Amino acid sequence: MSKIAFIRMLKHAVFCISNLGITGELMHLPYIFKHFIFSNLMVGPISRKVVTESIWKLFSTITGQVGALIFVVIISRILKPEGFGVYNLVLAIVLIFITFADAGINRAVLRYVSASLGKNDKKKASSYVKYLLKLKFSLLIVLAIILIAIAYPLSFFVFNKPELFLPLIIISFYLIAISLESFFAQLFYALKKLKYLAIKQIIFQILRISLVLLVFALLMGKNLLIEILMIVVLSNFVALFVLLFFLRKHASFLFQRTDKKIDKKRVFRFIKYFAVAGISSPIFGYIDTLMLGAFLPIAFVGYYSASFGLIMAISGFILVSAVLLPVFTQLKDSQLKEAFDKVFRYVGIITIPLLFGALALGKYLIRLIYGHEYLSGALPFSFLTLLIFSTLLSGVIVSLFSAREKPEYFVKILLFSSVLNIVLNYIFIKGFMNISLIWAMTGAGIATITSRYFYLFSLGRTASKNLGIRFKPVFVIKPLVASVLMFLTLFYINRFVEDITLLIGLGEVILGAGIYLVVMFLIGGLNNEDVEMIKSVIKREKSD
């Protein structure tokens, strides 16, 4: 890559920051959820504390998503589709092991440590941490050894791609770092000290982006896949040590010796269901990437991963399930139903226009962010936009079951959905290969969408039956009407635009948002109460 290309790459990274700033109001969503729920259901210092922590969660989310997107933009342009495909296939494999390493332990940490601290029982919280950390570390060592042992057969016999071998060996250390990091991160959610997660996130993102740019500048023109993977591993170990430092400094009681007894059978029962989910989740989440790696040339994994990653980046800005779990845990059943209605309404208001906006501008986003080399991913991107709605809402419902210690309900659904996902991916990828390789890649996206929405509607049905939670169509009909009108307007305009520049693209985003908001007010989807609530949220954020 030439110096001119390097400068262009940096400009695209800078654009990502500025462009994401345009949709900054969307980043207030977690805060809006919390503020709206607690302003109606809770009063006093608890509400104030939740609002404060929501601000830090918001900041951490923005930092993480912006940093991740910039990092992916940079490495996708450095590695090109083939190298980016290897990177994502290796990452998909190790993420399966990471999910096994969790085995419900992270959820148990958040659930039981939060409950103990809510009762001001620090000794019991410490007992939970020690017991769960011991389980986590033992499982993690076994899985890391297994990954190293199977790296060769996976590379040469399963995927028939020898270039995977060394990256798999390196990424096994990533398994250790990221698994322990995610474990200790749950403690900050339980402690309601999200400020330190935000600080960790800043350090992590700056470190890995800076190191990648430095290595690229020094070794320009070479294949940097191995170096990039080593940077990923190093950055995550640094992030782990940062979390441990903050825990030792601000929550040392969690590491003190205690003879406080805990109900290990109760904890193990909770973990057991999530362990089953740990078997299903990686299949559910990464089977599309794995099967594309097995059936198609590695470049198509790169195209698909670029599209899927962009959708997940958009969804990640408004993903609030991790923050809502401690909230749902402390609410009574009657409050839980009211809280869910409020969350569901705002999910519809925010995600549906995002979905249609991404659908209208998808191929232009791919070209602008990743480059012309990745335009083959535009077709699967069109289908994958549906994940924006389902990902957020599924996470919220899972948090409801977790808060009520009923993980068995959604685990059964996840198992069946995972099997469905495997079957559909095989059928669609193999079947669409008769049309073209691009359609075979798109088949993976269609299979993913089908299984994800089966999962969502099954979750909704089960929540309705067991928790009294119901999807109210009225909350999505008006956002859907306004979003369709917005989409049709943008689609019509783009018929007369040969090439969408940055300026035109920004203009369309602003126009689309304006159309959506105007229509929503005209049809009663938004009212003055919503406007005043958002204003109060922003004012309180500034004052805090």
- pLDDT tens track for 308-339: 988 887 776 565 444 444 444 444 555 667 77
Which pLDDT does position 17 carry in this prediction?
A: 37
- Half-sphere exposure of 317 toward its Cβ, with a 13 Å CA cutoff? 22
Residue 131: pLDDT band by 50, 70, 90 thresholds? confident
Which pLDDT does position 28 carry in this prediction?
A: 40
Distance CA 12, CA 21 (A): 14
Q: Tell me: the pLDDT tens digits for 201-256?
A: 999 999 999 999 999 999 877 788 999 999 999 999 999 999 999 989 888 888 87
Q: Does residue 331 sit in helix, strand or coil?
A: coil
Distance of CA 342 to the CA centre of its chain: 22
Residue 54: pLDDT band by 50, 70, 90 thresholds? low
Q: Is the separation of the CB atoms in 171 and 91 below 8 Å?
A: yes
Burial of 494 (0-12, 13-18, 19+ CB in 10 A): middle
Residue 57: pLDDT band by 50, 70, 90 thresholds? confident
pLDDT at 59 over 70: yes
Mean pLDDT for 512-521 is 91
Distance CA 384, CA 287 (A): 15
Residue 87 vs residue 418, higher pLDDT: 87
Distance of CA 70 to the CA centre of its chain: 15
Tokens describing residue 104: 């419900």
Reported pTM: 0.75
Which pLDDT does position 259 carry in this prediction?
A: 77
Distance CA 366, CA 96 (A): 27
pLDDT at 23 over 70: no
Q: Tell me: the pLDDT tens digits for 177-197?
A: 999 999 999 888 888 888 898
Residue 159 vs residue 538, higher pLDDT: 159
Total domain count for the chain? 1
Q: Compute the mean pLDDT over every residue in the chain, rounded to the nearest whole number.
A: 81
Q: Which range (22-31, 311-320, 342-351, 440-449) has the least confidence?
A: 22-31
Distance CA 335, CA 442 (A): 42
Instruction: Please list, residue by residue across 280-300, b when 16 or more beta carbons sit within 10 angstroms of its beta carbon and e when fewer do.
Output: bbbbbbbbbbbbbbebbebbb
Distance CA 405, CA 422 (A): 28
Which pLDDT does position 404 carry in this prediction?
A: 67
Which pLDDT does position 322 carry in this prediction?
A: 44
pLDDT at 512 over 60: yes
Burial of 162 (0-12, 13-18, 19+ CB in 10 A): exposed
Distance CA 271, CA 212 (A): 38
Distance CA 229, CA 84 (A): 11
Highest mean pLDDT among 52-66, 175-189, 265-279, 345-359: 175-189
Distance CA 164, CA 161 (A): 6
Residue 526 vs residue 485, higher pLDDT: 485
Mean pLDDT for 416-429 is 93
Give percent above pLDDT 90 in the chain: 38
Domain range for 294 is: 3-543
Tokens describing residue 491: 């689609």
Distance CA 22, CA 12 (A): 15
pLDDT at 366 over 50: yes
Q: Is the separation of the CB atoms in 374 and 306 below 8 Å?
A: yes
Distance CA 356, CA 484 (A): 7
